[in-house]
Structure 1
Amino acid sequence: MRTKAHRFNPFIVLIILSSALLSQAGSVEIVRDSYWVPHIIGDTPQECAYGLAIAMCQDHPKVIVDKTLNVRGELARFYGDSLLFDDFLARAFRLKEKAEQAYPDLPADVRDYLEGFTSGVNYYFAANPGEMPNEVNSDDFLPVSEAEIAATFGLLLLNHEYFQFQQDAGALLKSSEQISASYEGMSNQWALTPARTADKAAYLLCDPHLPFEGITASWQAHLISRDGKLDFEGIFFEGTIFPSMGHNRSMAWSFTSNRPDFADAFVVKLDPNTPDHYLLDGQSKAFNTRQEIIEINDQPSDTVLIRQSDDVGVEIKLLDNNESLFAKLQIEKEPPPVEQGYRMITARTVDEFRQAMALHQYDKWNTIAMDVSSNNDVNIWFVYNARAYRRNDPLAAWKGPLDGSDSDNLWGELISFDDLPTVSNPDAQFLQDCNDAPWYVTENPSFDRSTVPVELYKGDNFGQRGKRVWELFEQGGDSMSEAYLKKVALDAKITSRDSIAPVLELAVQEGYDDGYEHINRAAALAQAIIDWDGFAHRDSAQPTLFYTWRKMTDTSIKFLDPNEIDQNERRMMLESLIDAANYLENNFGSEEVPWGEIHRLVRNGINYPLSGGTRDEDEMVASRLGKAFETDADGRMDVGGGNLMIMLIRMKGGEQPRAWTMKPYGQSSDPTDPDHYTDLTALYSADSLRPTWYNESEFRAHTEISESYPYTSVSEENTTPVLPRSPQLAAWPNPFNGMVNIRYYLPSTSGKAELWIYDALGQKVSRIHPDKLATGYHTLRWKPNRRLASGMYILRLEDGPSVFLQKKLLYVK
């Protein structure tokens, strides 16, 4: 049941009259802080995983259901044929089957963790069948197996590997054969040792740039096991069992995206003389074939033939009678990487973390890890992590569709973990990676770039964001303060402004020299750009002018390569600058439009102005970044990606770790939640890093509500979760001054159960729910009538003449 932390507030005090069940052995406590971050406390990691599943289901039930249906290949069964291709991919790449085969051989502690999470999912939906999506019946969904939960962790790998395949395949794919995937190449991470900071602490930044919704949507949680094996606070993708980055008491780690050659498109020549055979170097070889029956809602089932080859992968489509398109993905033969995920969150030192990474189960991700000992000895470590394969022609990795009949194009042996680029404790005392080539991670890295296999990286990339981090670290020297590093984390500098300003000055001078007819207006507009400091703040008008100007300037003119701009192009730049100002005047009524008016996040119908660069224009990127997935007719962007969750972590020997975060969406996915759907969006818009409450005294001091659940194991022998036998009643937040959330649980009912609000004299004031209450867990909201006076009120859960539970509420307007 739920208990409340007592803290003073002038608006309302909630006093619980009913007896409270305290956390006990075999129970899991979920403490929600005032940002709705769950702090999950159990005796063991297994119990923590159980609570993690319950908390995740509370906030994102549909995500959990849909990911499970996805790995089963059953999305079309419930949602229709629009998701038939998703089912095909899950079946073709055998996500569930490989997890089932691998599960018995997993180490016992990893199986325990999976069993805990699986039991939590089964418990939650057995107790809350109304939380299932409308299209899915809980009887058709439950029970979920441990292998299915493990397989969901492989969905992200399938997603980004197939996305790389479809980029290679290009026009050979129809839209129905493509998936929506996370865009590549935009994330930031860095680490600094105490030698570079004013307070002699170590810092690590986690800053993935990904879509805010879909498979990469973020969620924050904190896992604490009393046996000491877990005390991890981190960022999870919604519905995943392991975090993508975060920290415990002694170490922290982060990921950014890279692009190894782990996926290829092969055009395969079919053997015209032998069915289900293909040609390789002129020789006929047999496909592995099987049939899958995929159910479709309100339609006949679809029987699909799946053809696979260890040489060229899985058949995606028949191109003609002679050729077929195949997807070769590294995940094809690999089970989900759950052992590595578990070892990473339980690692206490960089050495232990390195051993976890050496399992080499994750298919990509540049990784930075940092540990701090009690006497402030610090280690920082980087690995350009990838699962890629050598081939006879390494450059084939970065070509389009490959000829699958030529063995020179095929994959060879796996590049071993020991052959990946790594750096440990560099002399420069920093590491940084902003999706750059591995040799830009620090000064004088400890590996020879000529030895890095070509299959691991694409090009000698050192982008604007990485260069900017180096610049800021050089400016900060050896005494960078906490405040300075927060500015580095939120840096919104558009570096192309610095390179183009001298070009504008020259263009204006040339305009005066040759009597350009619009020189006065062009000079005034150019001066606005020249005077701008280059920071894309949401309230500034210069970034709007700069962005619009860049959009209207011929793409052949490169702002980041000013030495290549000739006089004719400089005149074109002045003309497009005037065009940009006219566009703003015509569409917005002024040429001075705040950047946040067009660079915005729309959530629940509310516009939230954003600072930072934009991925929509290559020469206007910054560490603080947005990606617009929609733009209206006037050019206003609806930002749907960018800084998915910034986490800046501070560690120092002898002190508790501290962290600050910023996240675009609230923890809840319920648009009707008045407290936690957009609360973090407002902070994100304001560029406000909020502190996390890692230590127990901190998060209990900021508790909004706590709840305890008995651990209920669900195994093959016992598939029915044991639900509470007694009614439960809770209300939050504490305090509130406008609306209160009420959550109740009824194990059974006579059909007469009701929720009522009484005044202090025992008179009925309001019935919370118009119908009789159903069994199970349910959440309701009560907003007091405006005419209702401040004072003491009683919330009662009744069943006829019986009073199950009651709580005393003091309402103050």
Structure 2
Amino acid sequence: MKLALRRVGGTLLALVLAVLFILLVWEPFAAPAAKAPPPRHYSAQITRDEFGVPHIHGATDPDVTFGVAYAHAEDDFSTLQDVVAMTRGRYGAIAGADGAKIDYVFHLLDARGTVDRHYAQFPADVRALLDGYASGLNLYAKRHPGEIKLARLFPVNGQDIAAGFALRQPFFFGLNTAIGPLVAGKPLPREHGPAEDGKPWPDYAHGGGDQVDLPPPASGGGTAKASLMPTAEDGSNAFAVAPSRSSDGVTRLVSNSHQPWRGGVAWYELVIRSDSGWHFAGATFPGSPYPFLGHNETLGWTNTVNRPDLTDVYRLVLDKAGTHYRMDGKWLPLESRRVLLPVRFGPLVIPVWKTVYRSIHGPVIVNANGAFAVRYAGMDRIDQLDEYYRLSKATTFDRWMKALAMQAVPSTNFVYADRAGNIAYIYNAALPAREHGPDWRHVLPGDRSDLIWHGPVSWDKVPKIVNPKSGFLFNSNNTPWVAAGPGSELDPSGFSPDLGIESDMTNRARRAVKLLGATNPIGRDELERIKYDEGYERAGYVKWTLDAIAGLDLAGEPRLQKAQALLAKWDLHADGRNPADALAVMILKDPMVASYELEPPPDPKAQLDWASKHLMKYFGRLDPPLGEVQRLRQGKVDLPMDGGGDTLRAATSWNIDKDGRLDVKHGDSFIMFISWPKGADGRPGPVRSESIQPYGAATTRPESPHYADQAPLFVAHRLKPVRFTPADIAAHATSRETIAQ
């Protein structure tokens, strides 16, 4: 008997060990086969300046993108691998459950299928750029095998790079606000619309369901994980000043993007130049072969997130078996596909099978409330890769506008300026061509084909302002109507409400309108002062929150009474000079997020209680200086940080460290001041630019001198020069290498 039990136990142990071994090794073999681009010779020179910023030069444009990938890998190969894993549906094998959620969306949106359907029709020069970029990544991986996180992740090819765009682009305009609640079976948020100042946010129910009561959002924001996917919360500021409004007749442009400081949508600065005439300074994201914003010799632009209603949700009528849905009185098969999600759990990778669905509307999510189809702008398109390239190659306003008119980039505002003195604001959006009549702000019937829109509205219906009389343009993630200030506004009545253009304002927008309108002329110093403004207007969610806290009856709660009295004396600036700054910045963070994400307001008493309790626990007082509480931290660098969420000097969100400090992780990121100063003859001369980032060029390389070398300048509101011309680069070069294959 004992011998039999031993044999059974030994067999079970062997089975367990076999299963564990399989879970240790199966994922790379089950992954799609990796394929390299067609063989081709590439060569690029990477020259780094005193801040480690790479200047990539090649004979051809594909040589340049080859060098872009290699240089970026030298500085942040870790994040690039995460992005590559996303383009293969394998990120869960690196990041566990959080990564598997992204893999599920990758399959739900059919990102790879989109590429497979359209890649061959891409212009040959764009495909060559993507293959060049992929080849640069492959070369770095080959030379540094010890850094590779996931077996069989390389080689990659141009299709892999394109798939990353198909996956991530829709999340810039907030596709997550539809997919997230649907997957969780929760009510959808309301659509964009104005809320009266000083009054509670309205009912946020969307689509017929009753909105449940929600607790206050978790203040502070969790762990230090880097963000790989963009969200609608990723904001920005942009300013353009025409010669007529500047003090010295100079055209100026300020790019002030607000992105996470680490991860797949963190900016990476670079300067590119090819012998084919491609010359551009700016910044890009991991996984992109070229810059998304910045300038060439004659023109420049920047972007801010806009939030038009580019998504519609449809409730499907399924048959009893759940395999067909009704459309115009007929039953159509509901497409379904089983997908495998790898989910890392410690050293093991667990296989999880999920089913993704699709109808003629688009992706379908089935939850306890039914089946819901989602249709969104830019669906089944990847030609934004073509448009971005044409934008960066344009040398005149007309050519730049022609590229933008492709309407392949489904969202994001563009603010433009050029050497000739033109400034422009384009509310860029692939606005759905909806029929007038249906209530597009709610869940739509899914059994009517006439409610399925096709393609964007014509380019002439997209809001634009070119060379306004005010002499300035701006955007801070607000409605486009006020982009040029009083007297030069767009008339909302000229645009159909079915376009879904947002009408709300951010605090940054209110401050920008006020400060720009009151400043004349707007010279270099004035523009810098406006950009670094730390003020709040007592309006919108700020007024509602402060008024609600002031009206609380806190009898018998001495800590809250003291916090209430301190907040009443706040001067509405997050500059570190008022004793209430830290308390106010902490209290306003969650209302800011709720307002921006169209969610119900958090409980004001809970906000006051959390912030005051935290300050007392970690600082022993309610009024510690803001700079003691809010920090910029990278390795051994630990510096005070001013600003607040939704100020023009943005410190949007932070992690709470063990010592109670707020370690800023999102806000002002890549900042660039661009101008075309006049020469001795009175004509605009060569472009000049300055820039800064929160950390440095090598954000994930602690051993690098450029891991955090820009941080002291960043917290001090200072910029560094951009080395744009070959002569300037050569004069300040600290390293030079040639890579080739």
Q: 1:705 to 1:634 in 2, by over 3 A?
A: closer
Name which of 586, 596, 605 aligns with 2:627. 596
| Residues 246 and 446 of structure 1, relative CA distance in 2, 3 Å threshold | same
Residue equivalent to 2:582:
544
Which residue of 2 is the match for residue 697 of structure 1?
727
Q: 1:157 maps to which residue? A: 169
Whether 1:27 aligns to 2:39 is no
Is the counterpart of residue 307 in structure 1 residue 345 in structure 2?
A: no
Query: What is aligned with 2:142?
Result: 126
Query: Which letter maps to 1:388?
Result: L
2:154 maps to amino acid: L
Q: 2:690 aligns with which of 626, 636, 660?
A: 660
Equivalent position of 1:97 in the other structure: 113
- Contact 2:378–2:408 under 8 Å retained in 1: no
Give the partner amino acid of 1:544.
A
The alignment of Structure 1 onto Structure 2 pairs a total of residues equal to: 631
Aligned to 1:787: none
Partner residue in 2 for 1:559? none
Matched letter for residue 247 of structure 1: H
Give me the whole-angstrom Cα distance separating, in 1, the residues matched to 2:328 and 2:117: 33
Q: Which amino acid aligns with 2:360?
A: D
Are the aligned partners of 2:134 and 2:161 in contact in 1 as well (CA < 8 Å)? yes
Which has the greater radius of gyration? 1
Distance 2:417 2:146 in 1: 44
AA matched with 1:647: M
Supply the distance in 1 between the matched residues of 2:617 and 2:102 (Cα, whole angstroms): 45
Query: For residue 28 of structure 2, what is the aligned residue in structure 1?
Result: none
Write out aligned runs for 1:333-732 (5 A).
333-372=380-419, 377-392=420-435, 396-399=439-442, 401-405=443-447, 410-443=452-485, 444-445=487-488, 448-478=491-521, 480-496=522-538, 529=570, 532=571, 534-538=572-576, 541-544=579-582, 546-547=584-585, 588-604=619-635, 606-614=637-645, 621-631=646-656, 636-652=661-677, 653-710=683-740, 712=741
* C-alpha contact (below 8 Å) 1:493/1:536 kept by paired residues: yes
The yes-or-no answer on 1:74 pairing with 2:90 is yes
Q: Which amino acid in the other structure matches residue 596 of structure 1?
A: G
User: Structure 1 residues 551, 205: CA separation in 2 closer, same or farther (over 3 Å shift)?
Assistant: closer
How far apart in 2 are the matches of 1:144 and 1:348? 32
Decide whether aligned partners of structure 1 residues 392 and 704 sit closer, same or farther in structure 2, where only a CA change above 3 A counts. Answer: same
CA drift at 1:551: 8.9
Name the SS of the counterpart of 1:697 in structure 2.
helix
One-letter identity of the residue aligned with 2:165: F
Say if 2:267 is the partner of 1:218. Answer: yes
Structure 2 SS opposite 1:46: helix
Secondary structure of 1:62 counterpart: helix
Are 2:292 and 1:244 aligned? Answer: yes
Distance 1:535 1:662, change over 3 A: farther
Cα distance, 1:38 vs structure 2: 0.2
Q: Which amino acid aligns with 1:645?
A: F
Name the structure 2 match of 1:259: 307
CA, structure 1 residues 548+36, in 2 after alignment: closer, same or farther (shift >3 Å)? closer
SS of equivalent to 1:271: coil
The amino acid that maps onto 1:441 is: A
Point out the more displaced range, 626-635 or 486-495.
Answer: 626-635
Q: TM-score, normalised by structure 2?
A: 0.76
Judged with a 3 Å threshold, the aligned counterparts in structure 2 of structure 1 residues 309 and 362 are, in CA distance, closer, same or farther, namely same
Structure 1 gap segments, 5+ residues each: 1-24, 509-516, 557-571, 615-620, 713-813
CA shift in 2, pair 1:105/1:585, >3 Å: closer
CA–CA distance in structure 2, aligned partners of residues 455 and 394 of structure 1:
9
Q: Structure 1 residues 336 and 233, CA, compared in 2 at 3 Å: closer, same or farther?
A: same
Instruction: Point out the structure with the larger strand share.
Output: 1
8 Å CA contact 1:371, 1:379 repeated in 2:
yes
2:239 pairs, out of 190, 207, 213, with 190
Opposite residue 284 of structure 2, the aligned amino acid is F
SS in structure 2 of the partner of residue 361 of structure 1: coil
| Equivalence for 1:53 | 69
Question: Is 2:574–2:643's contact at 8 Å kept on the other side of the alignment?
Answer: yes
- Confirm or deny: 8 A CA contact 1:598 1:637 kept in the other structure: yes
Identity, % of aligned pairs?
Answer: 26
Whether contact under 8 Å (1:362, 1:387) holds in the other structure is yes
Q: Secondary structure at the match of 2:416?
A: strand
- For each residue in 1:368-400, what CA deviation from the matched residue of structure 2 results, as whole angstroms up to 9, or x when unmatched? 12221xxxx31112211112313346774433x
Q: Relative to structure 1, is the Cα distance of residues 492 and 324 closer, same or farther in structure 2, using a 3 angstrom cutoff?
A: same
- Assess if the C-alpha contact under 8 Å between 1:35 and 1:676 holds in 2: yes
Please identify, of 578-587 and 206-215, the stretch whose mean Cα deviation from structure 2 is larger.
578-587
Cα distance between partner residues in 1 of 2:337 and 2:613 = 62
1:673 partner SS: coil
Do the aligned residues in 2 keep the contact of 1:26 with 1:43 (CA within 8 Å)?
no
Contact 2:313 2:375 in 1 (8 A): yes
Tell me the SS of whatever aligns to 1:216: coil
The offset of 1:304, in angstroms, is: 4.4
Which digits, 9 at most, give the CA deviation of each residue in 1:52-106, with x for residues without a partner?
A: 0110111121222222222222334566565333223223323233223323222
Q: C-alpha distance in 2, partners of 1:280/1:382? A: 41
After superposition, what is the alpha-carbon deviation per residue over 1:466-510, rounded to whole angstroms, capped at 9, x for unaligned?
2322322233213x3212222222121233399999xx9xx99xx
Q: Secondary structure at the match of 1:537?
A: coil
Q: Does the 8 Å contact 2:46/2:67 carry over to 1?
A: yes
**Match in the other structure for 1:752:** none
How far the C-alpha of 1:631 sits from its partner, in A, is 3.6
Partners of 1:624 and 1:677 lie apart in 2 by 22
| Cα pair 1:260 1:387 within 8 Å, conserved | no
Partners in 2 of 1:434 and 1:81 — Cα distance?
34
Determine the structure 1 residue equivalent to 2:58: 42
So what's the TM-score if we normalise by structure 1?
A: 0.70
Question: Residue 309 of structure 1 aligns to which amino acid in structure 2?
Answer: S
Matched residue type, 2:644? G
Q: 1:288 aligns with which of 312, 335, 360?
A: 335
Taking the aligned partners of 2:107 and 2:582, their CA distance within structure 1 comes to: 47
CA deviation after TM superposition for structure 1 residue 172, in Å: 0.8
CA distance in 1, matches of 2:436, 2:505: 25
8 Å contact kept, 1:168–1:264: no
Whether 1:207 and 2:252 are equivalent positions in the alignment is no
Would the aligned equivalents of 1:337 and 1:362 in 2 still touch at CA under 8 Å? yes
How many Å apart are 1:606 and its aligned residue? 4.7
**Residue 613 of structure 1 aligns to a residue in which SS?**
coil
Distance 1:680 1:539, change over 3 A: farther
What letter matches 2:364 in structure 1?
E
Do the aligned partners of 2:183 and 2:367 also contact (CA within 8 Å) in 1?
Answer: no
Cα drift, residue 200 of structure 1: 1.4
CA distance in 1, matches of 2:354, 2:45: 46
Q: SS state of the match for residue 194, structure 1?
A: coil
